[in-house]
Structure formats: structure tokens, C-alpha cells
Structure 1
Amino acid sequence: MKVLVVGGGGREHVLAWKIAQSPLVTEIYCAPGNPGIAQLAECVDIKADEIDVLLDFARAEAIDLTVVGPEAPLTLGIVDRFQEAGLDIFGPNQAAAQLEGSKDFSKALMARYDIPTAAYRTFSDRDQAVAYIREQGAPIVVKADGLAAGKGVVVAMSEDEAVAAVDNIMVAGAFGEAGSKVVIEEFMEGEEASFFAFTDGRNILPLASSQDHKRIFDGDQGPNTGGMGAYSPAPVVTGELHEQIVETIVRPTIDGMAKDGCPYAGILYVGLMIADGKARVVEYNARFGDPEAQPLLMRLKSDIVPVMQACARGQLTQDRLEWLDKAAVCVVMASGGYPADYEKDFPISGLEEAAAIEDLMVFHAGTALKDGRIVNSGGRVLGVTGLGRTVAEAIDKAYAGVEKISWQGVQYRRDIGQKALNR
């Protein structure tokens, strides 16, 4: 069968890598792809949000399954368009993708179905939002309602910082239309984890646990990013907690979406805050997390293609996945200055040396080919992912790869996976 992967980041690289392992697959295309993906798939010069062009391509090439990586095309309705054309596509439709596309939509769903999360209020008026912050005090969390590439959330430790966040989002328009409303939430203490489940809109198939590192600097300091590294499994998610998450969060979410007339199919990502042995929802995403996808899919033994096809067709009957009895750790190497302005087009050295390390994969996120050399072209550039018998071994493996790679201004965290070791 022929598979089209939509997107061009680290998540799409690991998806293409995993899909390429399926005996069912004869050809993989990726739009737009990147130099790392080009080693596995034919990259097509179509942007992820050019839905009409992607649909024409899928028809012309008789694509059997399209897998959508990023959130933007999902919220623009790519799944609806492909389904109307009778094509199998993995991901939620436009109505269901609101679960990520609007924080207000997702919080209202959680309130309706008693899904544990932080107390909140939504505001479209700046002054009312500020008054609420003054009334509640700090710490407090301010979120742009719409999509902001993982950067529209401010955990404010003072009222003034929270007000500044509201002004940045609503007045300065830092995230455009995504900031026309803000969701202001109670601050939740605890340890974060990421939980994923495949679903066809009725049935669910949970994945292993993982944990992301959102902040740019060691010790969870500095501004939020799209994610600076991840590991799997996450010891904070015990077997008992895994069951609790499925029963009190994942199942009610999928059932609630179906009851509300917008069944959710694809991969459901739940960002969690865990405290005192209980999990609450921080946010939902309508796609695989990046970088969590890298360690998760490195550990997955099962063929991913039949699962995705079953989700797309509403026929998910598989009740378990096979996993390597190993840990995986992904360290993100980013451009200097990220998540603010950064310089690009610096040649990257050491990729071949890192690739020679056993049980290590270097997934490309923000790279490009320039004058025959691979250069940095994005904020997050590479996801260096190692496997090991233990988390400690996987950490050593990942950083052994990181040490081989360099370019001008490169930055990365040196403490990815430490929370797991501390447990």
C-alpha cells in the first residue's frame, strides 16, 4: 500500500520511520518532509496546510492511507475533505479537532462530563480577564484560546506577569486570531506526563506513558517551548494510575465527544498533571506529541499501519500493543535563541557519526538542504533518541549522540530524563 505522511518535523520523521517498518507498505510520500525523512520517503513540495493540493496528489497517486502529523491541517478540515473523496485518512475531523483548536471548547467538554481538570474561566474582554486575575491572585495560568504552536501558555507566578500575558495575547496580538479569547486557569501543582490513545471514535487502544520537558532550560526554567526532550516509559504513571487515566479521562472524553455529535478518531494526546496519585487534564492535543512520539514509537514493536487504518475506518478491535522492554530518551537540539528569534542556515556536522551509534536515531525536525549540506532551518532542529535497558542507559545513549553533533549556536538541555532517575 501507498502511505502519505503530512508534515515535515520530528514527529513526521519518526512516523515515516515507523510506517516504513510495516510489511504492508510499498511506498511512502511525505509533504513537505525534510532531509531526514527523504532517506525513507519521497518528499513532495506541498505544504501541510495546502489541503486542496494534498487531496489532488493523494487522488493522482492512489494513496491508500494518509497520516496527518501536525494540528493545523486537522483544524482546517483536511480529514473531512479526504473522507468526502472516499480516501482513508488518520486523524480527527474538523469538529473533533476543536479539542486542540480551542481551549474553551475542551474545558467546556471536561466540565460537562466531569473530567478532572483545573478550575477556569474564559474571557473575550481584556479588562474582565484582568479583574479576574486580580480577584484570584497568583500563581495562575493564562492560555490563548486557539493554536499557538505550543507557545500560547503562560504559567504566571505573579499577578503582574499574568496581566502582561493577557496584554501580549489579547492587545499586542502575539498569536493573532488564536488570542481573541483567553482561558485563565487555576495553577496545578504536580508532575506532568503525556498519555496517548488510538481511537476510532468508540474503541480506545492506549499507548505507553511518556513525559515531555516543556521549558527551554535545565531544571524546568525559562519560557515554554514546543518541547525540549521526552522519555518513555514515565515512572510517574504507575499501572494503577494508567487504569485511572483511561477510566476517568480518556474513556469519558471519547464517549463525551460521540455524545456531543462529533466523534473523535485518530490519536488523542492528553497532557496531564499528576499529584497525590491522581491525574488531571492540562490540555488535549489532536495529534502525536513532538517530541514524545520519538521515544514512544522507538519502543513500539507492533505494526502501526493496521492500527491507523482501523482508526480511519471506524474498525479498531485491537486491544493491546507490543512494546520493547526498553526505555527511550529523546534530547531535542535547538537553534541558539529559540524559543525567541534564532539564526539559521548553519551547517550541521556529526550526523553520520551519530547515526553509526547502535540503538540511536537522529530524527530531523527543523533541517534543510543548502548547497549540498544539511543546515538548521527551524527552532527545534533534531531529536536525538536513544534506547537502553533502563532510563539511565537510554539517557547515556541519547547524549552520546548529542555529543557527536554540532552547529553554530546549538543549545539543548542536559537534564532530560532526570525526573525518571529521581524516582
Structure 2
Amino acid sequence: MRILIIGEGGRESALAAKLQKDARITKMFFANGNASTEKIGQNVNLSEIHELRDFAIREKVDLTIVGPEAPLVAGLKDEFKKHDLKVFGPTKKVASLEGSKAFSKKFMQKYDIKTAKAMVFDSYNEAKAYVQDHEYPLVIKASGLAGGKGVVICDTVEEAEATIHDFMIRRLYGDAGIRLVIEEYLQGFEASIIAFSNGEKLFPCIPVKDYKKAGNGDKGPNTGGMGSVAPSPEFTAEHFADFEKNILEPTVTGLKAEGFGFKGIIFFGLMITKNGTYLLEYNMRFGDPETQVLMALMENNLLDVINDCMSNKEINLKFRDEKAVCLVMCSGGYPRNIELGFEITGEERVKDSQLLYAGATKKGDKIVSNGGRVLNIVATGATFDDARKKVYEDASHVHFDYSFYREDIGKF
């Protein structure tokens, strides 16, 4: 098989590393890839859907796996389908469950999926009026894609008014904020569950804990993810039963009722409160850095799982009875003004972990940083302490100027 993986982060590196062991795969292409994927296959500089389509036709690609959300929301699957090109991912309409928070919230409400109470607003004046007499904190979300940044927890009416103005008038995130979702604030801890879809059923993986804040102790600004662990130590069997009954099963019902059958991934972003498990959001693709720990523990052959999903077959996901820890090493200034172009050294001294490049590229005979989240270091062990000792020992040998990472990933 000839496979095209779209994306350039640690998630794509983890998928590639898992797939490269399969002898049936004769060639892997990556758009646009990174320093890890370059070692595994061929990086190609392609961004537009028509460029990716033409490349897949020309190179006789048998399967395309999409990492980031933007190509799916833009309709890559629809365009590829016109040319009988197989894509593991949803159509543009189904991808709206991620691409439009307003669309997904209405879907949740329609099918009685356990989620925060919310209202959708297209009118600036109506949104402002709504927040005047409300219990705080309050969560305001840009409906469209905002690179994971379009969510603000407001503690006062003044903050809420300023956020509405930033999103709808100032267009801080372009068109993403011209429609808003304003919802109640849920207090608790977050967890992520990624499920495979075969077009009829959803098959969930083990729960993952993602660390979103830039600083130790969950301090500082939100990021794309500073690390992850699996299985989530806080997420109990009782939480899973609640998720299955009140989120997973009604989601399947809704997907069928709307004719949204698809072969791909659905990611459940969850908040676990004293009143149980709530759905915060859907993503319609693999998570990053959740994928890194899932691939480290998955016993199944990934290509078999994907092929079975594409063929409407049942799948039986199996994960090793171990713990996995992923540490993300970042560029100085991330997630704001980042500094790039620094040589990365010490890879050869990583002994007990897997090093997966993300925002890093090869320049001559050197590997240099070219993104905010530069690389991931992933390890497994019998306990979280075992896994994190490996990760942090190996991380101590990897260097580039102004790099930083959290010191409390997997520490409980």
C-alpha cells in the first residue's frame, strides 16, 4: 500500500512510527511532514486540497489519513471521493461537528447528549444582552476554528462584554468568531476519549489525560498540549459507564439519524464534574498529544484497524496493561511569540524513550526547530513513575536554545 498522511506534528510522527512496521506499506508520503517523517518516508510540500488530490492521483495513493482538522472542515474527503480516493476521515458536513461549535452544540442538544447548557448567538447585541444577567464564571466560544484559542472563561460581565467584542467586532479570530456559543462553566477535570468509527459503530480507546496549560501545576496560557498520559488516572469505570450511556450511545444515535456515517476518528473532549461526565466538544480526527500515548500502548496493528473500519467490520481494540507518558518540548515564548531556527542536539542519547519530532525540520545535516511544539518524548512503564523517569532522563539530553517543558507530566 501507498499511504499519504496529512499533517506535520507529533501526532503524524506517532502514526507514521506505528505504521512503518507494517510490511504491506511500501511507501509513505507526508504533507508537509517533519524531521521524523522524513526518516520514515517522503515529505512533500503540499497544502491546497487540489494539490493533495492531484498528488494522490499521480502517486497512486491507496489511503489518505488526515491529522489536522482544517483540511477535513474544508472538504478534502468530499473532493477525494469524487476521484475514488480513500480517506480515513469524515466529509465536510460531518466535520462541521468540529468546525462549527454552534452546529455541534445543536447536535448535542437535539440528541440529548450530556453537555453544558448553552445558547448560540449570531447577533452582537443579543449576545451582550444575554451576559448582563447571568451566573459567573461563563464560557464564551468562537463557533469556528480558531486554532484551539477561541475559548474564554469569563469571571465578570465586563470580561464577557470584552470577549464578545473581541470575537464579533474586532474579529480577533477572523470569521471564526462571528457566531458565538455562550455556555455554563463546568468545574472538574478533563479527559479525552478517541474512538474509531466503521460507519455504523464507534469503538473507544482508553481515556487520556492531556496537559493544556504551559506551566507546571496547570498555570499559564492554554496551549495545544504540553504532554499527555494514558490511561487517565482520574477517569474511573463509573465515569466510563456514564460516558457510554449519556454521550457515546446518543452520539451514535445522532450520527445515524442525520446520515452521518463515516469511517474515521471521533474525539470526545470531556469534563468530569461532581455531577458526572459531560461532553465539551467533538474533534473529528486524532488528537495531539493524545495519539502519541495511545500508539505507544496499542497492541493492534493500526493498518488492520483502519482497513477494518473502511470495510465496515467490527474491531476489537487492545491496549497493553502499562502506563504511557508523553512530554512535549517547546520553543521559547510558546504559545505566544516563539523563537525558531535553533539546532536540536542529543537525539542519539535518547535510550529508553521514543523521540518524535513535531515542529522540527532538517536543514542540511542539522535538525532545527520550526514550530512552537518542537518534539515529543514518549515512554511506557509498569507505573507512571517508571514511564516518567525514562521520559525526563531522556529529555535532559536533548537541547536547543530557549527550549522549555513542563516538569510535572505524569506526576500524581
Q: 1:153-194 CA distances to partner (integer Å, 9 max, x unpaired)?
A: 112233333333222222221211111111111000111000
1:19 corresponds in structure 2 to 19
Q: How far 1:371 moved relative to its partner? A: 4.0
1:370 corresponds in structure 2 to 363
Q: Distance in 2 between matches of 1:22 and 1:240?
A: 36
Q: 1:320-375 CA distances to partner (integer Å, 9 max, x unpaired)?
A: 21212211111111111111111111111222212xx12x1111111122343211
Q: Distance in 2 between matches of 1:42 and 1:52?
A: 19
Q: Distance in 1 between matches of 2:216 and 2:125?
A: 35
- The match for 1:334 among 330, 341, 358 is 330
Q: Distance in 2 between matches of 1:163 and 1:399?
A: 43
Q: Distance in 2 between matches of 1:372 and 1:167?
A: 48
- Cα contact 1:139–1:159 (8 A) shared by 2: no
- The match for 2:313 among 312, 316, 320 is 316
1:23 alignment partner, SS class: coil
- Cα contact 1:170–1:180 (8 A) shared by 2: yes
2:278 corresponds in structure 1 to 280
Pairing 1:172–2:170 present: yes
Q: Distance in 2 between matches of 1:280 and 1:223?
A: 23
Q: How far 1:130 moved relative to its partner? A: 2.4
1:202 corresponds in structure 2 to 200
Q: Distance in 2 between matches of 1:337 and 1:158?
A: 28
Q: How far 1:277 moved relative to its partner? A: 6.7
Deviates more, 1:151-160 or 1:98-107: 151-160
1:226 alignment partner, SS class: strand
- Cα contact 1:137–1:159 (8 A) shared by 2: no
- Cα contact 1:241–1:277 (8 A) shared by 2: no
- Cα contact 2:198–2:314 (8 A) shared by 1: no
One-letter code of the match for 2:125? D
Q: 1:333-412 maps to which residues of 2 (within 5 A)?
A: 333-354=329-350, 357-358=351-352, 360-412=353-405
Change (3 A) 1:264 1:234: same
Q: How far 1:295 moved relative to its partner? A: 0.6
- Cα contact 1:35–1:374 (8 A) shared by 2: yes
2:340 alignment partner, SS class: coil
Q: 1:79-158 maps to which residues of 2 (within 5 A)?
A: 79-158=77-156
- Cα contact 1:367–1:378 (8 A) shared by 2: yes
Q: Distance in 1 between matches of 2:399 and 2:159?
A: 35
Deviates more, 1:397-406 or 1:128-137: 128-137
Q: How far 1:233 moved relative to its partner? A: 0.3
- Cα contact 2:111–2:253 (8 A) shared by 1: no
Between the two proteins, the alignment pairs up a number of residues equal to 412
- Cα contact 2:239–2:272 (8 A) shared by 1: no
Q: Distance in 1 between matches of 2:185 and 2:252?
A: 26
Q: How far 1:408 moved relative to its partner? A: 1.7
Q: Distance in 2 between matches of 1:219 and 1:389?
A: 24
Q: Distance in 2 between matches of 1:131 and 1:399?
A: 50
Q: How far 1:279 moved relative to its partner? A: 0.7
1:75 corresponds in structure 2 to 73
2:130 alignment partner, SS class: helix
Q: 1:306-327 CA distances to partner (integer Å, 9 max, x unpaired)?
A: 22123234x1312x21212211
One-letter code of the match for 1:112? K
Q: How far 1:244 moved relative to its partner? A: 2.8
Structure 1, unaligned runs of 5 or more:
none
2:37 corresponds in structure 1 to 37
Change (3 A) 1:123 1:208: same
Which TM-score applies when normalising by structure 2?
0.96
Structure 2, unaligned runs of 5 or more:
none
- Cα contact 1:326–1:387 (8 A) shared by 2: yes
Q: How far 1:104 moved relative to its partner? A: 0.5
- Cα contact 1:91–1:312 (8 A) shared by 2: no
2:188 corresponds in structure 1 to 190
